[in-house]
Structure 1
Amino acid sequence: MTPAERPSTLLNRRGFLALGAGATAALGLAACSSSASPPPQAKVGPTSPLIARAEAARRPAGAVVRPVDLTAQVGELDLGGVQVRTWSFGQLPGKEIRLKRGEVLQAKLSNRLPQPTTIHWHGLALRNDMDGVPDLTQPAVAAGSDFTYEFTVPEAGTFWFHPHVGVQLDRGLYAPLIVEDPADGGDYDTELVIVFDDWLDGTGTDPDAVLANLKQNGMNMGAMPGMDHMGGMPKSDLLGGDAGDVTYPHFLANGRTATAPTSFPGKPGQRIRLRLINAGADTAFRVGVPGVPLRVTHTDGFPTTASGDAEAVLLGMGERIDAVFTVPATGVPVLAIAEGKSGYAQVLVHAGNSRAGTANDSAAELLKKAKVQTVQDFSAAPQVDLKNRAPDVTHDLKLASPGAKYDWTINGKPYDPADGLPVRQRQRVRLRFVNDSDMYHPMHLHGHTFQVRGQNAPGPRKDTVLVLPRRTVEVDFDADNPGQWLTHCHNAYHGESTMMTVVSYVE
């Protein structure tokens, strides 16, 4: 079904209440600049004519349409000597989608899973009704049904896509989405896209069982496979404390374990642009090429300047980093250490006839001691730096520790698609992520890119930012893409345990 063919009568009553363009609802969270609750305001829902107008404005005349077929299915996959039965788009990761800025993606999703599903196009400032959030931007695509996503890709960069139903993200339903800039390519010779993941599906448990046990037992998780045992939570100084809630038997790079990695045929002296994507559900990765400096060029798809070359970079769930390195005379691994956990993933980069070795435990130990660049080391490149401007509205998002039943919250409330943070078109909006918990949270905003506010200088442009325990991170964005937009923790288990809210455009 195409967007033009999708009638509003497909919405159930709950969906209608959340989606209706003219629906009037009380938005229960006020801007922090006001202590009074806002009066009822008409929300700009995904069926609003404003959404179609915004799409028309960003679609060039005669834009090329790129059709893609995606089948979400159940099947056996080989992780490198480890056979698992899981859900995927037919391979792991799913087949890369690559197109040019300003082109139109027309992606037909065929749902052959036993559950409803959707696709969220992570990082793209696309039209609101194609964002893939059930009960907020579209009804979920029922098992056995099809749905066609169609939208213009307005910005170049490294993006990816995944479901937004339950903890389906912690299966194999993800793939890279690369939007090319015609001006790229002058400072590198070739590209290598790497998707990192933490894996437990089909190894004696599955994500639904893990989440159910977390909700039943809270943080007293016992010894069920896939969860931290009574020995305590994994810890990381880099992450400020707790490093995750879930243990994983495998960490993957491009769908393979570290003992059976994929390889890339590099050449000595070749400049490789790495496009690094963290598709993990509960794991941040420390990524580097041991002994070889990285020049970071992009954060979450947007050009950046960095404070010198990096030995390693920190990549939280949902984040992407682009970096260029020069292949040395001998083959090297691109390593991703599971931060605070036990294990790593890798892709081998060969150097002509010099093949990188599979066994890299000692190199991984060295990488654990490397100096790591994090968000405070990056600034937006001048061409994407937001013009300095005072915010028109500021919203606090207080991130709270879980209660007895693993109920993470924002501003003390569970997620409600009909409740949100009101903004108006053309406002400069500031979000203050206030982390009152003892765990880090990768906070992701749909449909926009924000600029992180640095202590001494403007920070990078991003759509996902790590908020460390007991810290506050402020981000600014321009309200230039109307609709109802989810903002949430990209730890899949936190998000599905209600650490989500809505940035809600109102008229």
Structure 2
Amino acid sequence: MDVSRRFFLAASAGLAAGASVAKIPDVQAASKTVLRVKTRQIEVEGKAVTRYGIEQNDGTFGLFLNDGEPFNVQLVNELNVDTLVHWHGMEEPWRQDGVPYLSAPPIKSGGSMEYQFAALPTGTRWMHSHFGLQEQNLLAAPLIIRDKAEQAEDAQEVVLFLEDFAWRSPEEIFAELRKPKPAMSMSKSSSDTGKSDGPDLNDVDFDAYLANDRTLDDPEIIAVEKGGRIRLRVINASASSEFTVDLGAVQGSLVAVDGNPVQPVSAQRFPLAIAQRADIMLTMPADGSAVPVLALGEGRKLQSGIILRPKGAAVAMISAKTETEGPRVELEQEALLRAVTPLKKRQVQQIIPVDLTGFMSSYIWNMPIHGQAGMPAVVEESQRVELVLTNKTSMSHPMHLHGHSFQVVEINGTRFNGAMRDTIMVPPRMTVTVALETKNPGLWAFHCHNLYHLAAGMFSTMAYREIPDSN
């Protein structure tokens, strides 16, 4: 998506035929941005399909702001079911966080809700439903807040929004995952006591991967300048898939993760766990050739992507199927990252152990805190807290804390001043420690961002001892 045109897709294809929605109130407040949660039609492998989406009145997919502009939004539910949207990576007041029944009740069909807070932190964020399994039905969109340096840089901004797609409904997928497995599969059980033959890379066999709502049989081709500089904002908005972003022969420079600036790291491939984001600077070839930007599915012979094309450049057909499986997403590159603005040095007031546990055989997942299932991580305001995340299973878990940014400070016993993030992947049988400042009182969701792990129990909260009564 070339957001210099302020469009993501020609989403004005709009509501699916026959959709039944309640009457929607007109919103006249000029100072507000209206975001409408609605059904829409996209095309996957040549077939039309109805899914959800979040659009502005003019069809713009998601929300794009500049530093200093307020987050002033009216969210209107045009679906025929309840919904609520979470502003992922923002440090909003907790009652505006968008987690049903925790921060606010869901929005009824035909209803709306208003949000107003400082649009911070700046950077590549995103938005998605936190209601049931709606995220798998593509109820997600970009949320970009450009800082002043990004507004001034001589670079074209391109958003690559990655999602996984299945013809089956999310409910069918989840029901299949919850079915008891045969005894012979117990050797691949993910448990806090049992051993595994090796990491389980995927829960779900998806039918396609989408890049800006399209597959590689009909990819989005974005017009760019020969030799021009690009800020590529990649968002892994998938429900249950990790990717490696592949620039082919082009060298890129990773300059931000989860919207937060890092000391540049040069590479041609960049791992991206579920819910993570990567800002990659690259320069188009001087010879005017096109550059495919591919997303390789972890452990799958399946990919998606977009094409960056200067005027007149030839574009070769690229298959969505690959001969080899996509690379395992691990933490080697994570260990190289250093925050541009790390946390200030300070004594740690509280260390909170969080075990990531579960059984693949019965598909039950948990995250006991202080060894107690169902226990929140209880903190006090103005503390330096470290969360010690220990994965005792054979699957990776991308762990997300709402309302806060944290710094990665330790991987498997090795301390370092790593990146600032809001989502960190914890690979099988590994321990990752993150540090944060408790400066945003509330009752915050804390969970695995694999949608099906969350739904099967890997969800908790971080609770301040004193929680504000209102916004």
> What TM-score results when the alignment is normalised by the length of structure 1?
0.77
Give the match for residue 140 of structure 2: 174
Give the match for residue 130 of structure 2: 164
Q: More displaced, 365-374 or 466-475?
A: 365-374
Classify 1:260/1:349 alpha carbon distance in 2 versus 1 (closer, same or farther; 3 Å): same
Instruction: Letter of the 1:213 partner, please give it.
Output: E
Q: Superposition pairs for residues 161-240 of structure 1, below 5 Å?
A: 161-185=127-151, 188-200=154-166, 203=167, 205-215=168-178, 217-219=179-181
Larger relative contact order, structure 1 or 2 (CA cutoff 8 Å, min sep 6): 1
Give the match for residue 45 of structure 1: none
Give the match for residue 145 of structure 1: 111
Give the match for residue 388 of structure 2: 432
Q: Distance in 2 between matches of 1:500 and 1:183?
A: 36
Match of 1:304 among 250, 259, 262: 262
Q: Distance in 2 between matches of 1:351 and 1:263?
A: 10
Classify 1:219/1:346 alpha carbon distance in 2 versus 1 (closer, same or farther; 3 Å): farther
Classify 1:289/1:220 alpha carbon distance in 2 versus 1 (closer, same or farther; 3 Å): farther
Deviation at 1:65? 8.8
Instruction: Letter of the 1:463 partner, please give it.
Output: D
Instruction: Letter of the 1:257 partner, please give it.
Output: T
1:334 aligns with 2:299: no
Classify 1:143/1:501 alpha carbon distance in 2 versus 1 (closer, same or farther; 3 Å): same
Contact 2:297-2:327 at 8 Å conserved across structures: no
Deviation at 1:100? 1.9
Contact 1:218-1:403 at 8 Å conserved across structures: no
SS in 2 for 1:458: coil
Q: Distance in 1 between matches of 2:385 and 2:331?
A: 30
SS in 1 for 2:338: strand
Classify 1:334/1:436 alpha carbon distance in 2 versus 1 (closer, same or farther; 3 Å): same
Q: Superposition pairs for residues 247-286 of structure 1, below 5 Å?
A: 247-286=205-244
Classify 1:142/1:403 alpha carbon distance in 2 versus 1 (closer, same or farther; 3 Å): same
SS in 2 for 1:380: coil
Contact 1:311-1:371 at 8 Å conserved across structures: no
Classify 1:341/1:147 alpha carbon distance in 2 versus 1 (closer, same or farther; 3 Å): same
Instruction: Letter of the 1:300 partner, please give it.
Output: D
Q: Superposition pairs for residues 69-468 of structure 1, below 5 Å?
A: 69-79=34-44, 81-89=46-54, 95-185=61-151, 188-200=154-166, 203=167, 205-215=168-178, 217-219=179-181, 241-306=199-264, 308-328=265-285, 329=287, 330-359=289-318, 374-381=333-340, 384-402=341-359, 405-411=362-368, 419-454=375-410, 455-468=414-427
Q: Distance in 1 between matches of 2:38 and 2:339?
A: 39
Match of 1:502 among 439, 442, 461: 461
Instruction: Letter of the 2:432 partner, please give it.
Output: V
SS in 1 for 2:162: strand
Q: What percent identity do the matched residue pairs reach?
A: 31
Q: Distance in 2 between matches of 1:326 and 1:364?
A: 28
Deviation at 1:71? 2.3
Deviation at 1:437? 0.5
Instruction: Letter of the 2:400 partner, please give it.
Output: H
Contact 1:89-1:172 at 8 Å conserved across structures: no
Deviation at 1:89? 2.7
Contact 1:414-1:500 at 8 Å conserved across structures: no
Deviation at 1:79? 3.4
Contact 2:38-2:77 at 8 Å conserved across structures: yes
> What TM-score results when the alignment is normalised by the length of structure 2?
0.83
Deviation at 1:151? 1.9
Q: Distance in 2 between matches of 1:377 and 1:76?
A: 41
- Structure 2: gaps spanning 5 or more residues: 1-28, 190-197, 467-471
Q: Distance in 2 between matches of 1:369 and 1:73?
A: 35
Q: Deviations over 1:52-74 (max 9, x none)?
A: xxxxxxxxxxxx99522222223
Classify 1:290/1:501 alpha carbon distance in 2 versus 1 (closer, same or farther; 3 Å): same
SS in 2 for 1:143: coil
Contact 1:66-1:104 at 8 Å conserved across structures: no
Q: Deviations over 1:328-355 (max 9, x none)?
A: 1211100000011121011001123113
Classify 1:160/1:288 alpha carbon distance in 2 versus 1 (closer, same or farther; 3 Å): same
Classify 1:429/1:414 alpha carbon distance in 2 versus 1 (closer, same or farther; 3 Å): closer
Q: Distance in 2 between matches of 1:404 and 1:372?
A: 26
Deviation at 1:492? 0.3
SS in 2 for 1:337: strand
- Structure 1: gaps spanning 5 or more residues: 1-63, 223-228, 234-239
Classify 1:187/1:72 alpha carbon distance in 2 versus 1 (closer, same or farther; 3 Å): closer
Contact 1:426-1:479 at 8 Å conserved across structures: yes
Deviation at 1:310? 0.8
Give the match for residue 7 of structure 1: none
Q: Deviations over 1:30-55 (max 9, x none)?
A: xxxxxxxxxxxxxxxxxxxxxxxxxx
